[in-house]
A = this chain, B = another copy of it.
Amino acid sequence: MSPETAPLDAEQLAAYFALMEVSTLLQHAVDEHLRADGDLSNVQFQILMRLSGAPEGRLRMTDLADGVVYSRSGLTYQAGLLEQRGLITRSPAPDDERSVIVAVTGAGRDLIARVLPGHIRVVRRLLFDSLQATDVEVLGAVLGRVRDHMRAAPPRSARPRTRRAKP
């Protein structure tokens, strides 16, 4: 058995399981709140948040897709929903006619403002109520390192260029 595939030791397993369980439960609770309080999916919330934080509240579709991980078509779908509700607008980019600029509207910002307090309440109750300041620091530092490492890693083992065609 190569060291790469040797079983994880007890500490590692505990950390792995705890991480997955905590994030799953937290995600679930957050999703539920966003849906109930603002009729938003998590992705939609993330899109609005990213736009809110961007200069002038605007980003290209591609930049959004890079951040939100999902496929282009998935982003188009979600953006379509947000646009229908008047929470964002889409318009062609002036400098590159292929690109589309997405912008938050006032209504979008209002919705975020309305939803954010409850969102924070959920996160605080589930994640931070059981942690001391030093725990939070350590958690952020360790997970920050992991994240940086993940992002630096090659973007997944080179996705298959094309799906093998069925002739």
Task: Point out residues on A near B: beta carbons under 8 Å.
Answer: 1, 4-8, 11-12, 14-16, 18-29, 32, 36, 69, 117-118, 120-121, 123-131, 133, 135-140, 142-150, 153, 156, 160
> By the criterion CB–CB under 8 Å, are B143 and A130 in contact?
no
Of the candidates B19, B130, B136, the one whose C-beta lies within 8 Å of that of A139 is B19
Number of copies: 2
* Contacts A5-B121, A25-B150 supplied; 19 other A-B pairs, CB < 8 Å: A5-B120, A8-B120, A8-B123, A8-B128, A12-B136, A15-B127, A15-B136, A18-B144, A19-B26, A19-B139, A20-B26, A21-B147, A22-B147, A23-B27, A26-B150, A126-B153, A129-B149, A130-B150, A135-B142
> By the criterion CB–CB under 8 Å, are A146 and B127 in contact?
yes
Please give, as numbers and ranges, the residues of chain B lying within 8 Å of A117 by CB-CB distance: 1, 5
Please give, as numbers and ranges, the residues of chain B lying within 8 Å of A36 by CB-CB distance: 160
Please give, as numbers and ranges, the residues of chain B lying within 8 Å of A153 by CB-CB distance: 125-126
Main secondary structure of the interface of A (DSSP, over half): helix
> By the criterion CB–CB under 8 Å, are B142 and A131 in contact?
yes
Q: How far is the CA of A25 from the CA of B30 in the complex (A)?
A: 18
